Amino acid sequence: MRDESITRSAVLRVEGVTRVFRTGTVEVHALRGVDLALHEGEMMVLLGASGSGKSTLLNILGGLDQPTQGRVFFRDQDLTRVSDTRLTAFRRDHVGFVFQFYNLVPSLTARENVALVTEIAKNPMSPEEALERAGLAHRMDHFPAELSGGEQQRVAIARAIAKRPELLLCDEPTGALDSKTGIKVLEALDEVNRDLGTATILITHNADIQRIAERVVVLADGKVVRDEPNPERIAPSEVSW
Amino acid sequence: MRALDRKLLRDLRLIWAQALAIALVLACGIMLMVAAQGTQRSLEQTRAAYYERFRFADVFAQATRAPRALLPEIAAIDGVALAEGRIAFHAVLDIAGMEEPATARVVSLPAEGGAILNLPLLRTGRMPDPVRPEEVLINEPFGEAHDLVPGSSFRGIFDGQLRELTVTGWALSPEFIYTMAPGTFMPDDRRFGLIWMNEAAAASAKGMDGAMNDVALTLTRGADERAVIDALDRLLDPYGGTGAFGRDRQESHAFLDSELEQLAGLALFMPPVFLIVAAFLVNMVLGRLIGIERPQIGLMRAVGYTRAEVAVHYLKLAALIGVMGLVLGWGAGWWLRNGMLALYGDFFRFPFVLRDFNIAAVVISAVLGLAAVLLGAMRAVLAALRLPPAEAMSPPAPPVFTRGWLDRLIYGLRLRQTSMMILRSILRWPARAAITLFGVSASIAVLVASYFFFDAMEVMTDSVFGQGNRQQVTLTLNQAQTLSVLDDALALPGVRKVEGAYAVPVRLVNGHRDRLSALQGHFAGAELSRLMDDERGAVALPAEGLVLPALLARALDVGPGDRLRVELLAAPREVLDLPVAAVIHQSLGQEAHIGAPALFSALRLAPQVNQIHLLVDTDAMSALHAQIKRTPAVASLTDWSEVRRQFDESLGENLLTMVAIYTVIGVLIAIGVVYNAARIQLAERSHELASLRVMGFTRGEVGFVLVGEMMLLSLLAVPIGWFLGGWFAAGMIEAVSTDVVQIPLLISRRTYAAAAAVVVLASLVAALMVRRRLDRVELATALKARQ
């Protein structure tokens, strides 16, 4: 399994990434020299305790933040210390985000929330198709306030995949959901990963979720402490909460 | 300090920029109120003190020639305190270094004991020596304009005789605070002066030994002015009395009154607009703050603070903003008042200016200003109080968007989703959008109502100069002459065209209403001096009857078809009963008009002229001036290009100052409103907007959602602002129109465009200021934390 992933080319790669936050005189080392590569079509689960640096790493991978030291590559492009405009273009063209709190625009319906992205993407699928994939075709014309948490998260997934991104970055996507809806969301992510071959990173607190991943990376104290393949990948429906 | 008060100050610090924006809007209103009222009060008190110290008369009358022996009889009229007889007349002057002739009003100084009324205030030099007939006092501005220092001399033409006069000093007088040459609209210190000369000299110049032609008197306390005027008229009637009048008809006093009235109008009309806008802004900002602080309100109530204590806490915040506005407004108002007083003091040549500290204006503005912000706060505070503590502590439900008919309509437009966000936000919070809309339209309206004065001036100037008076020069004759005098005028150097006119002072009477005015006789085919209507252009004089300006018609309560008694106050001193044929709109000018044939047939006289309008070759102007100085029949010469220059200069400067002040005010309102609205949007939607950035929207695209909404509202506000502006302008006219000036309500496209452009631009700047904050929103943290 591990060998196979090496033959696949790396979509995203970080080398010796360090991130230090300064508040006044206090320095917090969120990441201390992380090396990591995400390969095409790979489903990676990122585990770690609160404060271990997961979200910081995800933000750097997604072009929301810049490392204090080290380098970030998207395929051959060096994303280290590029302008805000280039980072914006990177996110716009290649990255889909899914967040714990969905981050939907309350004034737009499900379909419109997805259209928000398809309108600026280069080769998007239709909002209807994206919602279909997320299993939400029947609730397209509802506003976020009219949807359950799980449904809102699936709108967010539809919105993230509609642009056919090469990267899907999910920060605790099931964190605010009960087990039943959480599984539905995971199923949607799993399907997207398998059908579209989108390289996916999934941050979670829930250790059992790692079993749906191809590869599991564990962060502690800003460092990668474990990085190994998961030979027995299970279906999301088998995840116990 | 109590913890709650500490929280108050920290809250205020948090919203300082928004609070300041509101305070500035409020300050504008307070400033105008305090400045206009303060200036008006100070000027009124200054004038009153000036009048009292220099014994300005209460009643005035002129006659052709009355014996001095009449004076004791006049003084004996019931209600008269003091009476003084003088000799007064207009004269042409020949001043070294000035090509064209100047005109002066000559007033005699009583021989023994000096003047008892309308005392000249000696500014420099000394009074004329009673035994030296050539010695005169002149008014200070005229002296300054010609550098006629004491000891210097000039020549006057009195009834055709050239006389050398020596200046002994400069003076000012309460009687001539506002001085205008006959037939002009603006003071011109170079071309029109005042001369005080010894009574004997004046009498000999006019052949008035033992006689007088000008009477001034003061009244005892509680005297009936009307009765005194009637009695005086009866006494002077046999001697060519032209009708006595009170201060209200005295030229200088009436113009000053008109200025003061305008100031009072200004103090009343505009400030409420600012107070209302400030109230709405407080409502908007405090509503938002209370929204954020719901859990804290719940907590305060839970730990035992009463509703009243919570309410007072937020009302204090509003009051603090109000106090900020008041202090700023008082400061700016005080500064503006001093500036205005300096301007007016200069313009009117007050020898002193009383700077009254107007405690009433301060108290009234404090009450109104605080009332505005507290009322604005009330709704938000009451909403906070209605919440039960437990509910208040849980976060508010997210906004619910539903689809109404309007939404389906928008849906049909197939807009981009970012545009949908803008439209849905407006529909979801219509009250907030309405406040923004109202605030921006109010600022447009303020600008329309101030910029339109330029349009009005243009119309007035065009009507008076471009259309109404196309002559270059008007000669006023000492007495009416037959039409053959026009041939003599045509023979004057350089004259290309002549046109005669006839003007006579009249009293117009309708029942118990009467007005002193002039009756202007127009000859058929006149091309130079024409009667103009501000809206309809040149007016053809009807074959019969009078044409009256609207203000005069209103004062007399007459309309077309009514009849007026017209008493001619100079030779031939007839009393006519004439119909009113038409009422016209004129901004300036309070004269009655009639066709010459109708007038002279009513008078059973051959046509006469006492004014001659001329077109002159510019090259020959000096020769004409020189000739006029030697022509005794001419009482004065009016050079219209000079009148126009003075008019433009004086009005232009005032208008520019006013427009500058109102532009600042309009821009402040627009910025205050848009900045606050955008800040609230940003605060409530930073999460949503940050999400867009994360999804790969550029700063510009995300900024569009924020700025776009503000700009859409600003653009929607434009037509409303125009409409309101027309209404404000009408209100302004109502507030500042007086018996002497009626401003026409005509608003040009240029004014509408300029007002809209300034405000839309200001809105854009305000929205962009807030948009910059968007750049500072940390993307990663905005996504984590939900408010």
**What per-residue confidence (pLDDT) applies to A50?**
85
Q: How far is A213 from chain B (nearest CA, A)?
A: 24
Q: How far is A169 from chain B (nearest CA, A)?
A: 11
pLDDT in tens, B292-321: 787 788 777 777 788 888 888 899 999 999
Mark whether B532 and B668 lie in a shared domain.
Answer: no
> Residues B271, B32: contact at Cβ < 8 Å?
yes
pLDDT in tens, B106-149: 999 987 767 789 999 999 999 998 889 899 999 999 999 999 99
pLDDT at B79 over 80: yes
**What per-residue confidence (pLDDT) applies to B73?**
93
Give the A window 100-139 contacts with B, CB below 8 Å.
Answer: 101, 103-108, 112-113, 115-117, 119-120
pLDDT in tens, B324-371: 999 999 999 999 999 889 888 888 889 888 887 778 888 999 999 999
- C-alpha span between B373 and B279 (Å, rounded): 5
Mark whether B449 and B532 lie in a shared domain.
Answer: no
Q: What percent of chain B has pLDDT over 90?
A: 39
The winner for highest mean pLDDT among B243-252, B345-354, B481-490 is B481-490
Tell me, yes or no, if A51 comes closer than 8 A to chain B by beta carbon.
Answer: no
**End residue of a domain, out of B600, B616, B632:** B616
The answer to whether residue B333 is domain-embedded is no
> Residues A169, A96: contact at Cβ < 8 Å?
yes
**What per-residue confidence (pLDDT) applies to B740?**
63
The answer to whether residue B299 is domain-embedded is no
Q: What do you get for the CA distance between the two ends of chain A, in Å?
A: 26
Closest partner residue to B425 among A88, A104, A107, by Cβ? A107
The answer to whether residue B16 is domain-embedded is no
Closest partner residue to B786 among A64, A89, A101, by Cβ? A101
Is the pLDDT higher at B29 or at A8? B29
Q: What percent of chain B has pLDDT over 70?
A: 96
A167-171 and B495-510 as β-strands: parallel, antiparallel, unpaired? unpaired
- C-alpha span between A127 and A155 (Å, rounded): 10
Closest partner residue to A145 among B400, B416, B786, by Cβ? B400
Average pLDDT of span B545-557: 90
Mark whether B466 and B505 lie in a shared domain.
Answer: no
**What per-residue confidence (pLDDT) applies to B787?**
38
Note whether B401 contacts A89, CB cutoff 8 Å.
no
Contacts of B697 in chain A (CB under 8 A): 88, 92, 120
Q: How far is A92 from chain B (nearest CA, A)?
A: 4
Q: How confident is the model at residue B569 (pLDDT cuts 50, 70, 90)?
A: confident
Average pLDDT of span A8-27: 89
pLDDT in tens, A165-223: 999 999 888 887 888 888 888 988 898 898 888 999 999 888 888 899 999 999 999 99
Burial B335-368 (b: 16+ CB within 10 A, else e): ebbbebbeebbeebbbbebbbbebeebbebbbeb
Neighbours of A235 (CB within 10 A): 12
Tell me, yes or no, if B418 comes closer than 8 A to chain A by beta carbon.
Answer: yes
**What per-residue confidence (pLDDT) applies to B182?**
67
> Residues B139, B179: contact at Cβ < 8 Å?
yes
Tokens of residue A44, six digits: 């990676």
Mark whether B137 and B201 lie in a shared domain.
Answer: yes
> Residues B377, B314: contact at Cβ < 8 Å?
yes
The H or E element that residue B345 is part of is helix B307-348
Average pLDDT of span B29-36: 89
Which residues lie closer than 8 Å to B287 by C-beta, 6 or more apart?
A: B379, B380, B383
**What per-residue confidence (pLDDT) applies to B106?**
93
Delineate the domains of chain A, giving CATH numbers in brackets: 41-64+83-238 (3.40.50.300)
pLDDT at B618 over 90: no
**What per-residue confidence (pLDDT) applies to B36?**
87
Mark whether B128 and B234 lie in a shared domain.
Answer: yes
Neighbours of B745 (CB within 10 A): 18
- CA A64, A70, A72, A77 torsion: positive or negative? positive
Contacts of A119 in chain B (CB under 8 A): 416-417
A167-171 and A95-98 as β-strands: parallel, antiparallel, unpaired? parallel
DSSP B438: H
**End residue of a domain, out of B254, B279, B302:** B254
**End residue of a domain, out of B203, B226, B254:** B254
Is the pLDDT higher at B387 or at B451? B451
The vertex-B649 CA angle with B92 and B195, nearest 5°, equals 25
Average pLDDT of span B260-268: 80
**What per-residue confidence (pLDDT) applies to B206?**
86
Note whether B696 contacts A113, CB cutoff 8 Å.
no
pLDDT in tens, A40-64: 999 999 999 888 999 899 989 988 8
Average pLDDT of span B92-117: 84
Question: Which residue of chain B comes nearest to A94, CA vs CA?
Answer: B696
Say if residue B723 is exposed, middle or buried (CB neighbours under 10 Å; 0-12, 13-18, 19+). middle
Note whether B698 contacts A101, CB cutoff 8 Å.
no
Neighbours of B143 (CB within 10 A): 24
Contacts of A116 in chain B (CB under 8 A): 417-418, 692, 695
**What per-residue confidence (pLDDT) applies to B733?**
83
The count of C-alpha atoms lying within 13 angstroms of the C-alpha of B146, restricted to the half-sphere facing its C-beta, is 30
Q: How confident is the model at residue B764 (pLDDT cuts 50, 70, 90)?
A: very high
State the residue for tokens 């005789």. B161
Give the A window 171-230 contacts with B, CB below 8 Å.
Answer: 171
Note whether A103 contacts B694, CB cutoff 8 Å.
yes
- C-alpha span between A12 and B494 (Å, rounded): 95
Q: What percent of chain A has pLDDT over 90?
A: 40
Tokens of residue B749, six digits: 């496209």
Tokens of residue A123, six digits: 């080769």
Closest partner residue to B417 among A85, A92, A116, by Cβ? A116
The vertex-B246 CA angle with B193 and B122, nearest 5°, equals 35
Say if residue B554 is exposed, middle or buried (CB neighbours under 10 Å; 0-12, 13-18, 19+). middle
- C-alpha span between B230 and B244 (Å, rounded): 8
Mark whether B458 and B545 lie in a shared domain.
Answer: no
pLDDT at B393 over 70: no
Mark whether B775 and B666 lie in a shared domain.
Answer: yes
Note whether B425 contacts A55, CB cutoff 8 Å.
no
B161-172 and B121-125 as β-strands: parallel, antiparallel, unpaired? antiparallel
Residue type, B402: T
The answer to whether residue B43 is domain-embedded is no
Mark whether B677 and B737 lie in a shared domain.
Answer: yes
Tokens of residue B58, six digits: 């209460």
Note whether A116 contacts B780, CB cutoff 8 Å.
no
pLDDT at B394 over 80: no
**What per-residue confidence (pLDDT) applies to B443?**
92
> Residues B120, B137: contact at Cβ < 8 Å?
yes
Average pLDDT of span B565-581: 86
**What per-residue confidence (pLDDT) applies to A2?**
46
Q: How far is B445 from chain A (nearest CA, A)?
A: 33
**What per-residue confidence (pLDDT) applies to B783?**
66
- C-alpha span between B199 and B209 (Å, rounded): 9
**What per-residue confidence (pLDDT) applies to B78?**
93
> Residues B702, B774: contact at Cβ < 8 Å?
yes
Question: Which residue of chain A comes nearest to B421, CA vs CA?
Answer: A107
Q: Which of A112-116, B12-16, B159-163, B425-429 is predicted with the least confidence, judged by mean pLDDT?
A: B159-163
DSSP A212: G
Q: Tell which of A59, A90, A107 to mutate to test the B interface (max B CBs under 10 Å).
A: A107
**Inter-chain Cβ pairs, chain A and chain B, closer than 8 A:** 86
Average pLDDT of span B740-757: 87
pLDDT at B785 over 60: no
Mark whether B150 and B194 lie in a shared domain.
Answer: yes
Note whether A88 contacts B699, CB cutoff 8 Å.
yes
> Residues A237, A187: contact at Cβ < 8 Å?
yes
Is the pLDDT higher at A6 or at B211? B211
The answer to whether residue B385 is domain-embedded is no
pLDDT in tens, A88-115: 889 889 999 888 888 888 888 899 899 9
The answer to whether residue B303 is domain-embedded is no
Tell me, yes or no, if B402 comes closer than 8 A to chain A by beta carbon.
Answer: yes
**What per-residue confidence (pLDDT) applies to B18?**
86
Is the pLDDT higher at A215 or at B182? A215
Tell me, yes or no, if B421 comes closer than 8 A to chain A by beta carbon.
Answer: yes
The answer to whether residue B448 is domain-embedded is yes
Mark whether B772 and B699 lie in a shared domain.
Answer: yes
Q: How far is A8 from chain B (nearest CA, A)?
A: 27
**What per-residue confidence (pLDDT) applies to B390?**
64
Host domain of residue B555: 495-616
B101 vs B40, B473, B594, B621, B745, CA distance in Å? 37, 12, 30, 11, 38
Mark whether B684 and B584 lie in a shared domain.
Answer: no
Please state the φ and ψ torsions of residue B12, each to the nearest 5 degrees. Answer: -65, -40
Please state the φ and ψ torsions of residue A222, each to the nearest 5 degrees. Answer: 80, 10
The answer to whether residue B313 is domain-embedded is no
Mark whether B724 and B772 lie in a shared domain.
Answer: yes
SS3 B522: strand
What integer best gives the mean pLDDT of chain B? 87
Which residues lie closer than 8 Å to B100 by C-beta, 6 or more apart?
A: B191, B621, B625, B637, B639, B642
A1 vs A36, A187, A214, CA distance in Å? 17, 22, 8
**What per-residue confidence (pLDDT) applies to A202?**
93
Q: How far is B695 from chain A (nearest CA, A)?
A: 6
Contacts of B693 in chain A (CB under 8 A): 88
**What per-residue confidence (pLDDT) applies to B582?**
93
Tell me, yes or no, if A91 comes closer than 8 A to chain B by beta carbon.
Answer: yes
Closest partner residue to B417 among A91, A103, A112, by Cβ? A112
Q: At what angle do helices B417-428 and B430-461 cross, to 10 degrees?
A: 90
SS3 A123: coil
Distance, CA of B69 to chain centre? 45
Q: How large is the ipTM?
A: 0.80
Number of domains forming the structure of chain B? 3
B304 vs A197, B309, B729, CA distance in Å? 59, 10, 53
